[in-house]
């Protein structure tokens, strides 16, 4: 049997260039995803849709196609071309975002959101796999942390940029403005991205796995399974908050669409990006004390975030502090802190996934995490937040959304506890499947060979 061979890290300048290019592409992906939330009031007014329907389109309407296509596209990326799949996916989600701006009714909007989901399903897994091939283990979590910052850069672009464009030219132009840059970035990746060499191909004599067996193989790794469940549980609340916080800021704190988008964008820019970058650096430093810190860091961050969420959703409307000559809403300051804590899972988690499987399985492992996160989180969070808000509306009026988000925030604790449990299994899983020249095997199955990327 061939011994596993870890791919050689790329030249630092080229690795940095690809990291920045992937950061830009994935930032647009998240911007296209999140701009919908800040445009909900305008879309609601034009189409006369209910909160429940808008939550359905913003959550399951997007997630259904995202989940269904994540594993097949990741498998295609692992077996054909990560660069090619990501290029085609970025082109598709950009075109579908433009179609959202051209929608004439909620049915057309729903179809366009489904297409955005298909495109974005092929975005993160091949990007993570590409990045893992360019950086060695000493710097991989830090690089993953940088790429994870795309989530929050995207929120800034989607919420702040989308709100500003909508205020000036209408909600349709917010979709168009975010769709256009995706096309040249996709072309740039195709022309300059890493090519898969012949030496990087999976050996032809390696047994071919079915999609179901590949899923089972990833699921059989305890720490990978638990961290997926931990993020998914947290994201029932996290995705509900991502969709409904702009409306919460407007309803409970009297903000305009531009103010809500701006403050949430600032919170994402400062808190989310800082948390993403900091988590990777912390993990790379603490790993020398024990591999469990790879997943213990996000566990602690989730547990510390919960009391901050409680304060955020009980703060009276209009509460603010004076910083210099600027009056800053209290919820905006809390958004920075909670955003930083909530952002600290991604870099360490995807870095862990890259180490728990063989190189030619990395996109599929990332896709499995993405599927779990979205099936548990975004499929239920946005619509659940909207349904609870609607049920409480007769009694609590505009404050029903506040209570809905407050009740869901308790899931942060459960996410942290699942991460802590994953950290207990992680060192053993590394020894068993990743770093002992063995592939993870299912019961009654022989070992697979590992190839280079």
Most confident of 154-168, 282-296, 301-315: 301-315
Q: Please give the pLDDT value at position 53.
A: 82
Cα(227)–Cα(373) distance, integer angstroms: 10
pLDDT category at 8 given cuts 50, 70, 90 is low
- Which pLDDT score is estimated for 86? 93
Name the more confident of 308 and 376: 308
Q: What angle do CA 258, 260, 263 make, to 5 degrees?
A: 105
The DSSP H or E segment spanning 416 is helix 411-429
Nearest to 335 by CA among 255, 233, 229: 255
In the prediction, which pLDDT does 436 show? 40
| Averaged pLDDT, 4-23 | 75
pLDDT at 327: 84
The pLDDT of residue 25 is 93
The pLDDT-based confidence of 197 (bands split at 50, 70, 90) is low
If you average pLDDT over each of 219-223, 368-372, 420-424, which comes out highest?
420-424
Residue 79 in tokens: 């077996």
The tokens for 349 are: 């988690």
The number of helices, as runs of H, and strands, as runs of E, in the chain is 23, 2
Buried b (16+ CB within 10 A) or exposed e, 311-346: ebbebebeeeeeeeeeeebbbbbbbbbbbbbbbbbb
The arithmetic mean of pLDDT across residues 32-44, rounded, is 84
Q: Which residue has the higher pLDDT, 52 or 419?
A: 419
How far is the C-alpha of 132 from the C-alpha of 47, rounded, in Å? 44
The token pair at 156 is 């800034």
Give the pLDDT confidence score for residue 81 in this predicted structure.
84
Please state which CATH class domain 12-193+211-434 belongs to: mainly alpha
Q: What was the pLDDT predicted at 10?
A: 60
Give the residue-averaged pLDDT of 287-311. 92
pLDDT tens across 360-369, in order? 777 878 788 8
Of 61-75, 228-242, 331-345, minimum mean pLDDT range? 61-75
pLDDT at 422 over 80: yes
pLDDT of residue 93: 92
Per-residue CA distances from 415 to 254, 295, 366, 420 (Å) = 31, 12, 18, 9
Instruction: Determine the Cα–Cα distance for residues 351 and 388; give it in Å rounded to an integer.
Output: 36
More confident residue, 6 or 282: 282
């Amino acid at each position: 049997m061939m011994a596993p061979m870890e791919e050689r890290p790329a030249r630092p300048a080229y690795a940095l260039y690809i990291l920045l290019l992937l950061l830009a592409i994935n930032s647009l992906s998240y911007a296209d995803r999140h701009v919908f939330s800040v445009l909900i009031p305008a879309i609601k007014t034009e189409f006369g849709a209910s909160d429940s329907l808008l939550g359905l389109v913003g959550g399951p309407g997007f997630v259904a196609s995202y989940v269904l296509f994540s594993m097949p596209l990741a498998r295609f990326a692992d077996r054909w071309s990560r660069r090619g799949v990501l290029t085609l996916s970025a082109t598709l989600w950009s075109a579908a975002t433009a179609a959202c701006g051209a929608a004439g009714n909620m049915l057309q909007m729903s179809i366009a959101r489904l297409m955005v989901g298909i495109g974005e399903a092929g975005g993160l897994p091949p990007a993570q796999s590409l990045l893992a091939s360019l950086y060695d283990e000493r710097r991989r979590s830090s690089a993953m942390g940088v790429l994870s910052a795309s989530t929050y850069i995207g929120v800034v672009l989607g919420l702040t940029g989308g709100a500003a464009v909508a205020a000036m030219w209408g909600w349709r132009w917010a979709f168009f403005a975010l769709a256009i840059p995706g096309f040249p970035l996709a072309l740039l990746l195709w022309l300059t991205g890493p090519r898969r060499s012949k030496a990087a191909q999976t050996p032809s004599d390696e047994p071919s796995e079915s999609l179901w067996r590949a899923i089972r193989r990833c699921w059989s790794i305890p720490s990978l399974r638990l961290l997926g469940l931990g993020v998914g549980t947290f994201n029932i609340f996290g995705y509900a908050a991502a969709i409904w916080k702009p409306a919460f800021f407007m309803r409970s704190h009297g903000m305009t669409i531009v103010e809500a988008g701006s403050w949430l964008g600032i919170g994402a820019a400062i808190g989310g990006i800082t948390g993403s970058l900091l988590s990777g650096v912390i993990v790379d430093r603490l790993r020398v004390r024990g591999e469990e810190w790879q997943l213990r860091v996000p566990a602690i961050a989730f547990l510390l975030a919960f009391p901050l969420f409680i304060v955020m959703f009980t703060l009276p409307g209009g509460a603010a502090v004076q910083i210099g000559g600027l009056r800053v809403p209290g919820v905006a300051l809390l958004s920075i802190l909670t955003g930083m804590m909530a952002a600290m899972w991604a870099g360490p988690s995807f870095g862990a996934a890259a180490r728990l499987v063989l190189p030619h399985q990395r996109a599929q492992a990332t896709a499995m995490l993405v599927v779990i996160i979205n099936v548990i989180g975004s499929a239920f969070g946005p619509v659940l937040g909207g349904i609870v808000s609607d049920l409480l509306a007769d009694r609590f009026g505009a404050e029903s959304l506040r209570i809905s988000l407050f009740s869901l925030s308790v899931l942060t604790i459960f996410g942290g506890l699942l991460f802590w449990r994953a950290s207990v299994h992680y060192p053993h899983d590394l020894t068993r499947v990743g770093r002992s020249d063995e592939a993870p095997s299912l019961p009654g199955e022989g070992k697979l060979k590992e190839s280079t990327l």
